A and B are shown apart, each in its own frame.
Chain A
C-alpha cells in the first residue's frame, strides 16, 4: 500500500521504518520549513536503538522516501504522527485531502491531541474517507519492537467502513497480538490518556512509599514484591526511583492533568507531576542530608544522565535537576553516560563545575559521593574494590536501587538507596 506519514518525532520515524519494512511504499513528510537533515544527524533517530539502521535499510530498498509537504501526494493511507502541539497542522493536512480528488481514504491519527480530536478530523475530511485513532504505545528505547510486535492494539473509530482498511494496515503487526480492542475514537483517546495517567500515579505512589520506607527503616524492595504479587495490582511500574522523565511520558501526563484543570476538576495527576519534580532532587537531598548541608567544594560523580537507559535523551531527566542543585551549591560534578553526554554538553554550555568523563570509573575518582541516576547495564556490577579505593569518600547514593546494599556495605561503602 502507499502510505504517507506526517511528522518528525519518534513515532513518525518508527512508523516509517516499520511500515516500509513490511512492504508498504512509505513517504515521510517532516512538515518542517527548514532543509532536510541527513538521517544520522537527526537526534531523535540517532538516540533510538536500531532506528537509524532500520531507516537507512528501508531508504536503500526504495520503499521509504522523504519529501517536503505537498497536498497532491498520491496515497490511500495517511498516517498523522505529529507532536501533540501540532493539531493545526493535522487539520491542514486533512483539509487538503478533503479538497483533493481522492476518495476512499484512510487517515490514521496517532497524535496525542485532545479527546475528540479524531472526530473533529473526520468532520474536516467529510465524505472523502474515514479517520481512525490508533494510540502509540512507544517506549523510548524499545520503540521499534513496541510498534512491530504489539501485544495489544486499541483501535478507535466512528465509521465501520474504515475498519477493513485499518485492519489491513495493522495485519503485518498482528502476529502474537493478544487483543484488538475496538471503541469509539473519543473512548480510545480517553483510554490512552487514562493508561498513561494510571502509570504515572503508580510511579508517584511507589515513590511516596519509598520515601516513607526510608523514614521507617523498611526496605521498599520487599514491599514492592509483596505489592506486585497481588493479582489485583501486578508487578509493572512498581520500581521506586528518583523520578520519571522523558519527553513523551511527562508531556502527555501533564496534558491530561491540564484537561482535568480545564474542566475545573482537582486532579490527582497534578499532584503526581508536582511531587515527581520534587522526587527528581531526591539524590541531591540524600547527599545534602549526609553532609549536613555542607556541600561547597565537594566533588560528586554522577553516573547516568539520560532519563532512562537505552536513550541519549535528557528531556525532563532527573539528572538535570540534580546537576542544577549541585552546581548551585558549588559542587564539582563528574558526569558519565554512555550515550547522553553530547546532549548534556549542549544543555550546559560553559559550565566549569561539570567535568565530562569517558569512563564511569574515572568519573568516580576522588569523588565525595557517587550518585546513580540512570540504570545503564554497565553500572550494575562495578569493581567494588577499585571503586572504594579511588573514591575520596565511599558514599554511594543509588537512585534506581540497582546495587545490593549488603554487598556494598560489606565492601566498605556507605549506601543510600531509594526506600531502603
Chain B
C-alpha cells in the first residue's frame, strides 16, 4: 500500500467522505435492524459493531482491503511457521503453543508441537509438586508462596489471567499464594518480602532472554534476602527457591538455576505472546493445570476460527478492520478499553503492551516510512470506575475516541441475589454508556448538559468469564493486532523501539556514580547534578 495496489484504500477514502459526516444516531434511524446486520456471533462470542460508524457497505470495502493486502496468505504464513518476524528472522508461533498434541508444525525439521507438549509435561510435574506441598524450601517445609519476577510479557499476561480467574482456584490450591513483582526499582519486593516467610517462598524468574536488567535486579535482591535469612550456601538456595521460565537456558544456568528447575520456551514465542508457554506457570499454579489447559483450548478455538472463517464473519478480522476504518478513514487515534468486570482490571494494561508494542511503528516490513497512521494511543480501566474518571472526556471532550466495551452476560449464578443485582447494575451501565456515547443527548437545557455523541464503540460479550472464554478473548485481540499489521504492512513481532533506551540507561548508570566529564545534554547533566548533590548530602 505504501507502493503498489491501493485501490481498496482509495475506495474506502471516498466512502468515508460521505459516511464520515453521518451521525451514528442517524445511522440507527435509517436502519432498524442495524444490530442484526452488524453484529457477529462465533465461538461463544458476540461482537456488536452496530455502534461503529459503518454500514454493511463499509464492511464489504474493508474486506476488499484485507483481500488486497493478502490477509489470507499472511494468516497461513503465521500459522505454518513462516518468518513473519522479518527483522529478527523468525516465525511467531504462539498459535502452536495452544495446539493439541496431534497437530504438527514443522520448523527446521522439528515438530514444534512435540516440543511444546514436552515442555507442558515438565511444567505439569513442577506444578503438581508445588501444589501437593511437596516442593520444599531450604528447611524442608513445603512452599506456600510463589513470587513471579518478570516484566512486560513475563508479567502482564500471567498477572492479568491470574487476577481474572481467581475464582477458579480450587479450595486445596488456596493454600498457595501467588505474587507478581516487576518494577526495576525494587518497590514490588520491598512491599511483599516482609510479609513472606523465606523458607516457604519460591521465586519464578520469568525472562525470555534471561538478560532483562529489571528482572535480574529483582532476582538478585530476592536471592540476597534468602541467603541472609537462611545462612545456607547459594547452591542450596538456588536449588530450592528458584525456577526459571526462559528461552535462554545457558544464561539461567550461569545465574544459578540448574536444568531441572528450568522451564523452556523458544525464540519463536514473542514476549507479549508468551503467557501460553511456561511463562503461564503462575496461572497453572493458581488455577491448576486443568484450568491452564482450558485457557489454551479457548485460544485454540479462536485460532481455528481465525484461520477458517470467511472474513465477513471472522471476529478478529472484523475487529481489526473496523479499527483500521476508525484510525485511517475517520481519523480517530485514541482507543479506550472498558471491561465492565472488575476481574478484567488488568486487561487494559495487557492490551496496552499487546497493541502498542506490536503495532506502534512507523516503517513497513521493507524499512520504508509509512504514509498513514498506525496504532492509536490505547488505554483503559474497569468501565464503571472509568465513569468516575475519564468518561467526562469521552462524552464532552474534543478528542474522538473509539471504545471497546467488554462484559460477560452472566455472573454470580451460584451466589446471592445482591451480587447478581450488582452484575445487572454493571451491565446496565455498560449498555447505557455505549448508547449515550453513540447517540448523544440534546435534552439538556444548557450547553454544558449537551452530549454530542457519535463516539463509536464495539461491544464484546460472552456467556461467562471462564478459563476457556478468557483464552478466546485474548486470542481475539492477538489476531486483531495481526490483522491490522497486515493492512499496515508492518512487522508486529519486533520491538526495536524499546532497545536503545536500555543501552543509554546502562551508560548513565555509570555517570550517576562518577564525576562526569562527558558532554551530555544540558537537561540530563542538570538532573544528574541534582541527584549527586542529594546523595552527597546524605553522606
Instruction: State the A residues within 8 Å of B (CB).
Output: 278, 281, 284-289, 292-293, 324-325, 328-329
Q: Show 7 residue pairs from A and B whose CB-CB distance is below 8 angstroms, ordered by the A residue.
A: A278-B141, A281-B141, A288-B139, A289-B139, A293-B136, A293-B236, A328-B132
Contact yes or no, A284 B236, CB < 8 A: no
Task: Give a binary string over B232-264; 1 marks a CB under 8 Å from any A CB, 0 the rest.
Answer: 000010011000000000000000000000000
Name A328's closest neighbour in chain B (CB-CB): B134
Instruction: Say how far B175's CB is from chain A's closest CB, in angstroms.
Output: 11
Cα distance, A292 to B239, chains bound together (Å): 11
Q: B120-142 interface mask toward A, CB cutoff 8 Å, 1 = contact, 0 = none?
A: 00000000010010101011110
Q: B138: nearest residue on chain A (CB-CB)?
A: A293
CB distance from A393 to the nearest CB of B (A): 18
Which one of A278, A286, A288 lies within 8 Å of B136 (CB-CB)?
A: A288
Inter-chain contact B134/A324, CB cutoff 8 Å: yes
- Tell me which residues across on chain A come within 8 A of B240, comparing CB atoms: 293
Contact A289 B236 (CB under 8 A): no
Chain A residues whose C-beta falls within 8 Å of the C-beta of B136 in the assembled complex:
288, 293, 325, 329
Contact indicator A281/B129 (Cβ below 8 Å):
no
How far, in angstroms, from A286 to B136 measured CA to CA in the complex? 13
A156 to B350, CA, bound (A): 65
Establish whether residues A292 and B236, one from each chain, have CB atoms under 8 Å apart when the complex forms: yes
Quote the shortest CB–CB distance from A292 to chain B (angstroms): 6
For the complex formed, measure the closest distance between the CB of B34 and the CB atoms of chain A, giving whole angstroms. 55
- Whole-angstrom CA separation of A291 from B236 in the bound complex: 11
Q: Report the Cα distance A284→B138, complex, angstroms.
A: 13
Nearest CB to that of B134 among chain A residues?
Answer: A328
What 9 A-B pairs have minimum CB-CB distances, sorted nearest first? A288-B140, A285-B140, A328-B134, A293-B240, A293-B236, A292-B236, A289-B140, A284-B140, A285-B139
Measured CB to CB, the nearest residue on chain B to A296 is B260
Q: Chain B residues with Cβ under 8 A from A284's Cβ?
A: 140
Instruction: Given A293-B136, A328-B132, A328-B134, verify A285-B141 contact (CB < 8 Å).
Output: yes
Measured CB to CB, the nearest residue on chain B to A292 is: B236
| Chain A residues, Cβ within 8 Å of B129 | 328
| Assembly CA distance A292 to B240 (angstroms) | 11
In Å, the complex CA distance between A287 and B140 comes to 9
CB-CB under 8 A from A325, the residues of chain B are: 134, 136
**Which residues B90-148 have CB closer than 8 A to chain A?**
129, 132, 134, 136, 138-141
Output the nearest chain A residue to B233 by Cβ-Cβ distance: A292
Smallest CB-CB separation from B129: which chain A residue? A328
Q: A284 vs B136: C-alpha distance in the bound complex, in angstroms?
A: 11
Minimum CB–CB distance from B229 to chain A (whole Å) comes to 15
CA gap between A80 and B139 in the complex, in Å: 47
Q: Is the beta-carbon distance between A293 and B239 smaller than 8 angstroms?
A: yes
A-B contact count (CB 8 A): 29
Q: How far is the CB of B98 from chain A (nearest CB, A)?
A: 30
CB neighbours (8 Å) of A292 from chain B are: 236
- Would you give the shortest CB distance from B374 to chain A, in whole angstroms? 52
Chain B residues closer than 8 Å to A328, beta-carbon distance: 129, 132, 134
- Chain A residues contacting B139 (CB-CB under 8 Å) are 285, 288-289
Interface residues of B in 139-166 (CB under 8 A from A): 139-141
Q: Could you tell me the distance between the alpha carbons of A278 and B197 in the complex, rounded to whole angstroms?
A: 15
Task: Please name all residues of chain B whose beta carbon is closer than 8 Å to the beta carbon of A281 when the two chains form the complex.
Answer: 140-141
Q: Chain A contacts of B134 at CB under 8 A? A: 324-325, 328-329
Shortest C-beta distance, A240 to chain B (Å), equals: 18
Chain B residue numbers with a CB within 8 Å of A329 are 134, 136
A-side contacts of B138, CB under 8 Å: 293
Please measure, in the bound complex, the distance between the C-alpha atom of A419 and the C-alpha atom of B420, giving whole angstroms: 55
Q: Mark each residue of chain B from 299 to 335: 1 if its CB lies under 8 Å from any CB of chain A, else 0.
A: 0000000000000000000000000000000000000
Give CA–CA (A278, B140) in the complex, Å. Answer: 11
Give the shortest distance, in Å, between B202 (CB) and chain A (any CB): 13
Q: A284-B140, A325-B136, A328-B129 are in contact. List 4 more A-B contacts (CB 8 A).
A: A278-B141, A293-B138, A293-B236, A293-B239
Nearest Cβ on chain B to A103's Cβ, whole angstroms: 48
Say how far A397's CB is from chain B's closest CB, in angstroms.
12
Contacts of B141 in A (CB 8 A): 278, 281, 285
Q: Which of B136, B139, B141, B236 has the most CB of A within 10 A?
A: B136
- Central interface residue in B129, B139, B140, by most chain A CB within 10 Å: B140
- Find residues 423-465 in chain B having any chain A CB closer than 8 Å to their own CB: none
- Docked pose: A109 CA to B140 CA in angstroms: 45
A247 to B139, CA, bound (A): 29
Q: Which residues of A contact B140 (CB under 8 A)?
A: 281, 284-289, 293
CA A285 to CA B141, docked complex, whole Å:
7
Q: A370 CA to B280 CA in the complex, in Å?
A: 41
Measured CB to CB, the closest approach of chain A to B261, in angstroms, equals 13
A158 to B279 Cα, complex, angstroms = 65
A327 nearest in chain B by CB position: B134
A286 CA / B132 CA spacing, docked (Å): 20
Chain A residues whose CB sits within 8 angstroms of the CB of B236 once the complex forms: 292-293
- Residues in B with CB closer than 8 Å to A288 are 136, 139-140
User: Among the interface residues A278, A284, A293, A328, which one has the most CB atoms of the partner chain B within 10 A?
Assistant: A293
Residue of B nearest to A287 (CB): B140
For the complex, give the distance between the alpha carbons of A328 and B236 in Å: 18
Question: Cα distance A288–B141 when bound, in Å?
Answer: 9
Q: Least Cβ distance of B82 to chain A in Å? A: 43
Whole-angstrom CA separation of A328 from B131 in the bound complex: 12
In the complex, what distance in Å separates the CA atom of A292 from the CA atom of B236?
7
Nearest-CB distance from B431 to chain A (Å)? 40
Nearest chain-B residue to A288 (Cβ)? Answer: B140
**Distance of A111 Cα from B138 Cα, bound (Å):** 44
Complex CA gap A98/B174 in Å reads: 47
Give A286 Cβ to nearest chain B Cβ, in Å: 8
Closest B residue by C-beta to A289: B140
For the complex, give the distance between the alpha carbons of A293 and B235 in Å. Answer: 11
The smallest C-beta distance from B135 to any residue of chain A, in angstroms, reads 9
Q: Which residues of A contact B132 (CB under 8 A)?
A: 328
- Expressed in whole angstroms, the Cα–Cα distance for A329 and B240 within the complex equals 12
- A328 to B132 alpha-carbon distance, docked (Å): 10
Q: Within the complex, what minimum Cβ distance (angstroms) separates A289 from chain B?
A: 6
- With a cutoff of 8 Å between Cβ atoms, the chain A residues found around residue B239 in the complex are 293
Q: For A286, what are the chain B residues with a Cβ–Cβ distance below 8 Å?
A: 140
| Residues of chain B contacted by A278 (CB below 8 angstroms) | 141
Q: How far, in Å, is A283 (CB) from chain B's closest CB?
A: 10
Nearest CB of A to B233, in Å: 8
A306 to B444, CA, bound (A): 81
Q: What's the Cα separation between A288 and B136 when bound, in Å?
A: 9
Beta-carbon nearest neighbor of A326 in chain B: B134
Q: Across the interface, which residues of B come within 8 angstroms of A289, CB to CB?
A: 139-140
How far apart are the CA atoms of A347 and B258 in the complex, in Å?
35
CA distance A278 to B141 in the complex (A): 8
**Chain B residue with the shortest CB-CB distance to A278:** B141
* CB proximity of A277 to chain B, nearest CB, Å: 10
When chains A and B are docked, how far (Å) is the Cα of A328 from the Cα of B240? 14
Within B188-223, the residues touching A (CB, 8 Å) are none
Nearest-neighbour CB distance to chain B for A208, whole angstroms, equals 15
Q: How far is the CB of A269 from chain B (nearest CB, A)?
A: 19
Query: Please, which residues of chain B bring their CB within 8 A of the CB of A324?
Result: 134
Which A residue's beta carbon lies closest to that of B135? A328
A292 to B235, CA, bound (A): 10
B142 to chain A, nearest CB (A): 8
Closest chain B CB from A79 CB (angstroms): 37
Chain B residue at minimum C-beta to C-beta distance from A282:
B140
